[in-house]
Amino acid sequence: MVEGLAYDRDSGVYIVDAWAEVVPGIIASYLIPLAGGRAAIVDPGPASSVGRLRRVLDSLGLRVSHVLVTHVHLDHAGATGSLLKAYPDAVAYVHPRGAPHLAEPSRLWESSKQVMGDVAEAYGRPEPAPRERLLETRDGERIELPGGRVLRVIHTPGHASHHQSFYDEEAGILYSGDSAGIILETSVGVVRAPTTPPRLKPKLYIESIERMMKLNAASIAPTHFGLWGNAMEELALQKEIFISWMNILLEIYREGVRSPPDAAKRLALRDPNASLIMRSGGVVRDFFLYETVWGMLDAIERGEWP
């Protein structure tokens, strides 16, 4: 099998390492084979990786027919336009608030470059997606895929106002995107953390986790990274960590700390998850601790917590 590709026999789902050529093991796409050589893909990944993704699809003899977009951020939906171009029959399911950014990505691109700089360049500039093949979802909608698999759409704002999750009822898999934090295998062990860049909506983030807990899912597939069992415990843990980080950061903020790396250092002294991410260092620390702390401090500054 191609490097950066794993297969889950129980569910029949492939886990594609969507950024394998840059930083392996942090951004996932989920590939669901369907009847007739077709495939659905949850979060196709950054635009810069579309060539590799197509090689993966070719090696499996699959062509994409359904793109399921949890949210339009460059690391997850950047490849959507290029994929729709490559597969003229494919459609993409996106939250109504996200669809305009896929059809006309220039504003998203400019603002991402401003916020992320070189990282945005590494993700690549998204190609516009054909408007008529962007299907805007309704909360609770059931997407029936060829061969009988059904995915339920759950709108899960908080991380972003246009975030949605997908639930495969029969397989019991919840594709949570970035709405329920990260579960990431790193050099220092498995780390869990919220994923909350600006502009985080803390109360919506919690409500979305609570909605997903009602599904009674067996497994959870966050886009950072992989398929994990015990979905209910994972969701409960994510809610707990989120609330704990917000409360600790509120105290740190009130002591006058404003810089995310400084606040993250203090948080790491008091929270084992933050401490583990701090120890893992590098991109994991920068992406999943500093950015999250930044989003939380920003929400506190806007008066959205408590």
| Closest residue to Zn ion: CB criterion | 178
Q: Contact, 73 vs 178, CB < 8 A?
A: yes
**Closest CB to Zn ion among residues 75, 168:** 75
**Closest CB to Zn ion among residues 224, 239:** 224
Query: Considering only 5-13, 98-106, 141-149, 178-186, which stretch makes contact with Zn ion by CB under 5 A?
Result: 178-186
Quick one: 158 exposed, middle or buried, by C-beta within 10 A (0-12, 13-18, 19+)? buried
> Which one, of 39, 19, 42, 13, lies nearest residue 29 by Cα?
42
43 binds Zn ion (CB under 5 A): no
Report in angstroms how near the CB of residue 27 gets to Zn ion at its nearest: 7
Task: Indicate which single residue of 43, 168, 178, 271 sits in contact with Zn ion (rule: CB under 5 A).
Answer: 178
**Closest CB to Zn ion among residues 27, 267:** 27
**Closest CB to Zn ion among residues 125, 149:** 125
Q: How many CB atoms lie within 10 A of CB 248?
A: 18
Q: Give φ, ψ of 56 to 5 degrees.
A: -60, -45
Report in angstroms how near the CB of residue 120 gets to Zn ion at its nearest: 13
Q: Contact, 140 vs 146, CB < 8 A?
A: no
User: Would you mind telling me the total number of residues written for the chain in this entry?
Assistant: 306
Footprint on residues 144-173 left by Zn ion (CB under 5 A): none
**Closest CB to Zn ion among residues 178, 271:** 178
Instruction: Give the C-alpha separation, 85 to 162, whole Å.
Output: 23
Report in angstroms how near the CB of residue 132 gets to Zn ion at its nearest: 27
Footprint on residues 57-116 left by Zn ion (CB under 5 A): 75
Q: CB-side exposure of 131: number of CA atoms within 13 Å?
A: 2
Report in angstroms how near the CB of residue 195 gets to Zn ion at its nearest: 6
Query: Considering only 2-10, 103-111, 175-183, 199-207, which stretch makes contact with Zn ion by CB under 5 A?
Result: 175-183
- Token code pair at residue 278: 């701090």
Report in angstroms how near the CB of residue 159 gets to Zn ion at its nearest: 8
Instruction: Give the C-alpha separation, 160 to 166, whole Å.
Output: 15
**Closest CB to Zn ion among residues 65, 223:** 223
**Closest CB to Zn ion among residues 114, 214:** 114
Output the CA torsion 303→223→107→122 (10° steps). 120
Whether the bond into 225 is cis, omega within 30 of 0: yes
Binding site for Zn ion (CB under 5 A): 75, 178
